Structure 1
Amino acid sequence: MEKLHFNIQINAEPEKVWSVLWDDFSFRQWTSAFTEGSFYQGVLVENGIIKFLDSQNNGMFSEIVKLISNQEITFLHLGEIYNGVEVPQDWGEATEKYILTEHENTTRLDVEIQTSEEFKAFFEEKFPNALANVKHLSENQL
Structure 2
Amino acid sequence: MEKLNFDIQINAEAIKVWSVLWDDFSFRQWTSAFTEGSFYQGNLEEGNIVKFLDPKNNGMYSKIVNLIPNEEITFLHLGEIHEGIETPRDWGEATEKYVLTENENITHLHVEINTSEEFKPFFEEKFPNALSNVKHLSENQL
Range of TM-score over shorter length: over 0.9
CA distance in 1, matches of 2:137, 2:62: 25
**CA positional deviation for 1:7:** 0.5
User: How many residues were matched structurally?
Assistant: 142
Alignment of 1:1-142 (within 5 A): 1-142=1-142
1:14: Cα distance to partner? 0.2
The SS at the match of 1:127 is helix
Code of the aligned partner of 1:124? E
CA distance in 1, matches of 2:106, 2:54: 31
Q: Helix, strand or coil for the counterpart of 1:47? A: coil
| Structure 1 residue ranges, 4+ long, deviating more than 2 angstroms after superposition | none
SS at match of 2:37: coil
How far off its partner does 1:72 sit? Answer: 0.0
Q: C-alpha separation between the residues in 1 aligned to 2:105 and 2:17?
A: 12
The alignment partner of 2:30 has SS state of: helix
Structure 1: 5+ residue stretches without partners: none
Q: Give the superposition deviation at 1:103.
A: 1.0
Q: Distance in 2 between matches of 1:92 and 1:126?
A: 23
Secondary structure at 1:36 match in 2: coil
Q: CA deviation at 1:59?
A: 0.1
Measured in 2, the distance between the counterparts of 1:119 and 1:105 equals: 34
In structure 2, distance between residues paired with 1:105 and 1:42: 29
Q: What TM-score comes out, normalization by structure 2 length?
A: 1.00
What is the Cα-based RMSD across aligned positions, in Å?
A: 0.2
Specify the SS of the correspondent of 1:122: helix
Structure 2, unaligned runs of 5 or more:
none
- How much identity, in percent, do the aligned residues show? 80
SS at match of 1:70: coil
Q: What is the TM-score normalised by the length of structure 1?
A: 1.00
